[in-house]
Each structure stands twice: as structure tokens, then as C-alpha cells.
Structure 1
């Protein structure tokens, strides 16, 4: 009988998941923890991050919490300095933190535009920079940036600022993957379709119905379906994947 190792076992890995105090981030943190990683749960404030980490520990897995705003360079750099000092390394980074703002193009103010770009695109960039030196030194690292189907095909309902940010994440992923690959660092992205989280609760019933009508699967995605895709990309099963954006969208966009 041929014995094989579980290539998706993350035992002993240190993983940071941003925006993991709710929604998709919690699901990603849960899956990584269940596969053996120590998950550092981030949110903008400590309370939701602490609650999510406590829920993971109650299941017998390993987690801790940290608060910082991914759009604030000083906060990010200070937080990662502490994390690296406390844990010695970061093996996995999931840039998941994001915000929603379901508005049409004429409703996008410069302030709305800046906040959307800063949280999604700038936040992913800053966090990548914060872990890159340590990952290069250990010649190992897994980074997954959370984009969106909107970043590939444009958003049915408008949301040009969200779409631009998510498209930018795909470009960032490709560029960083080319730079980081020689150091043993895999950089990839996932592009979820509409997922049943608190974020979709902000959509009008009409907007949600229109979106679902364009999904081949005929339903919203479940957070755990997206989380398992992210977990695959940070596993050894994905060791030869660099710069890809994995679509997990129920068939709403096929490329």
C-alpha cells in the first residue's frame, strides 16, 4: 500500500487572516485552524477578532487576535513587527479585509473612492510588504489576496470603485508572484462571486435577485466554499501555482 502525506495539513504554520472578525474572514480562519495552523485573527477593532479567535480555541484549534486597520500603514507595520517578534515568523497571509458600498457610478464620491482603494488594494499591498522580508529570509511563504468576480468581469450593479480595487488586486498578485517566486513564496488570489455574508445583507433585494439570476449555480456561495479554495492555495498541493486568480463564483463568470 502506498502511503501519502496529507498535503493540505497546515500543522505548525503561522497564518494571518485580515478582516477575519466576520463573514468570509471567519470562515477562512476556521478552515485554516481546523487544518492545524495557528491563526492570527485580524479585525479593525479587537472585540470581533477576539471573539472569533475564542470560538476557534473552543473547538480545540489554535488562534489569537490582533487589531489593526489594513489601510493604515503605521498600524500594519507595528502590528506585524509585534507578530514576528512573538511568533518568529508568518508562513501564511490571507489579505481578506474589505468593505462594501453598493452604489452606482454617479454616487461615488472621491472620499468613497479613496476609502475603497485604500482598504482593498493599498491594504493588501501594505500587508504583503510587511511579511515579505521575513518570508524571503525563511525562503517560504504563502500569500492569498482576496479579489472578486467583479474584478474580472466588472460588477453588474456598478460599484466601479469596488471593481477597480478588486481588479488592482489581481494585478498586484501577478506582479508580486513574479518577484517572490524565486524566494519560495507562492502568491495567488481568489475571486469569489457573491457570498452569503453580512456584506450581502447591505444589498437591496432587487440587486441581490438580479445578481443571483446571473449565477449559473442559481444561488449565493457559502463562506466555507470560498475558504476551502483559499486553504488549497496555501497548502503544499498548490506548490507549483504562482500568480493565479482562482474563480469561485458558481459559474457567474467563466474565463
Structure 2
């Protein structure tokens, strides 16, 4: 671990979809700041790989496998987490998929799967931790949206854009409900980052996208991790229902 900041010491954090990409970076930064991070993925192997990396860097982490789109799996998983750790201080709803297709190629099945994982998945996990956070009058939830949810996506991907816009709406609504219980609910809208997801883009598509980023580069995954770490820290205790853009200037509110 490279940071001396330990403001999240003794916190229990769950990061969904953290076996790779932005989720893994988020989990690593939270562990660096002192949290015990529970790394989720749909299968156990990538989650365990992320845990091994975090532990190798001196952090605390454990792995758990469940599909965020499956309500019964989520309920069972968080039941185990709460039984073992007693609480969840931090929830990061990051699990997601990409599917770079134009509107005419979006089938009903593609639409349903996209919304099930991104939007329903975030809802499921929020529902699973809310009662315990309310009882303790403490909690931090960060939902990972996208610049596409604010701007639309010039590539296409209407199903992805709709899901990410829905996450922003969910964040605002839940923040209004949860604020009286001292639970901070916020979102982050990343732009394009150097992850496995962007590796699926064609070279032309990636070049076109980078040309629209004033910073002139893809984001580094740890930059999202640091933004998340801010929103779950005491420094953000008076921030509710906001969506923080981290996109190299590609979209400015």
C-alpha cells in the first residue's frame, strides 16, 4: 500500500463487480485507506484473485460470489456478510456489463439483461443493506453510473445509457429517503477508463472517444477509486444525492 491515509480503518465495505476493472481498483483503494473490503463477482475466481492482490499489498479483504441481478442470491449473500461482520458500513454498487451495439441491434433480451445487472442489481444491494444502516443511523452508498447516463452515448448503447441514467435517478430518490437516517447516498459518473471493458472497443471507436476527451487520455482506474474513497469518507458527510463526474472533461454539468 502506498498511502498513509487510514481514514476508513475498521470499516466494512462491499464492492460489487470487483473482480476486475474499476471495481478492483475501487476495492484496492478502499483497502489502502484501511477498510476490510468484501470483493464480489459473479464467480468466485476473479474475486479471489482481487483479494489476493489486496492482501499482497497489506490490505484486508475477502471474496464472495453472487449475481447482483438475482434478488434471492443478493439477500442470501448479504445475510452471510451481516452475520459474519455485524454490519456493512460502505456499499459500492459497481457491477455492470458493456455491450457496444447501435440501437437497431438491441434485442429485448439485451435490454433486460443490461437493466437487470446495472439498475436492478443496484436496487437489490441497496435494499439488502438499508435496514441495518437505518438501525445504526450510519452508512455510505455509492452507485457507479456513467457519463452516458448524463450525456447520452454518441456510440449508441441506448440500453446501457438508460440503465446508467436510471442509477442516477435511483441515487437521488434513495438519498432523499436515507438522509434523515444519516446515510449518504451518492453516485459517480465515470467517463472512459483503461479497463478490460475498453479493450473490447475497436481501435477506431477508442480513438474517436479519446479525441472527445479534453484531458486527451483514458482515465486511470485508481482515479475512480480515489473519488469513491472521498465520497465514503467523513469529508463528504454533507453530500447527499450528488453524481460526481470523473471523465477528463468530456462532459461538464
TM-score bracket, normalised by the shorter chain, equals over 0.9
Instruction: State the shift of 1:7 in Å.
Output: 8.7
What per-residue deviation string (whole Å, max 9, x for no partner) do you get for residues 15-38 of structure 1? 000000000001000000000000
Structure 1: gaps (5+ residues): 1-5
What SS class does the counterpart of residue 241 from structure 1 fall into? coil
Residue 169 of structure 1 is matched in structure 2 by 167
CA separation in 2, counterparts of 1:54 and 1:251?
34
What SS class does the counterpart of residue 248 from structure 2 fall into? coil
Q: Tell me how large the CA RMSD over aligned residues is.
A: 1.0
What per-residue deviation string (whole Å, max 9, x for no partner) do you get for residues 33-88 of structure 1? 00000000000000110111111112221000000000010100000000000000
CA separation in 1, counterparts of 2:52 and 2:83?
22
CA separation in 1, counterparts of 2:249 and 2:183?
29
Task: Indicate conservation of the 8 Å contact 2:54/2:60, yes or no.
Answer: yes
Structure 2: gaps (5+ residues): none
- 1:145 paired to 2:143: yes
What are the residue-to-residue correspondences of 1:6-21 with 2, within 5 Å? 9-21=7-19
Instruction: State the shift of 1:109 in Å.
Output: 0.3
Task: Indicate conservation of the 8 Å contact 2:186/2:243, yes or no.
Answer: yes
Task: Indicate conservation of the 8 Å contact 2:24/2:50, yes or no.
Answer: yes
How does the TM-score come out when normalised to structure 1? Answer: 0.97
Task: Indicate conservation of the 8 Å contact 2:69/2:117, yes or no.
Answer: yes
How does the TM-score come out when normalised to structure 2? Answer: 0.97
Residue 93 of structure 2 is matched in structure 1 by 95
Task: Indicate conservation of the 8 Å contact 1:8/1:232, yes or no.
Answer: no
What SS class does the counterpart of residue 28 from structure 1 fall into? helix
What are the residue-to-residue correspondences of 1:222-241 with 2, within 5 Å? 222-241=220-239
What per-residue deviation string (whole Å, max 9, x for no partner) do you get for residues 108-148 of structure 1? 00000000000000000000000000000110000000000
Q: 2:63 aligns with which of 53, 62, 65?
A: 65
- 1:56 paired to 2:79: no
Residue 188 of structure 1 is matched in structure 2 by 186
CA separation in 2, counterparts of 1:168 and 1:8?
33
Moved over 4 A (4+): none
Residue 154 of structure 1 is matched in structure 2 by 152
Residue 205 of structure 1 is matched in structure 2 by 203
Q: 1:252 aligns with which of 232, 250, 253?
A: 250
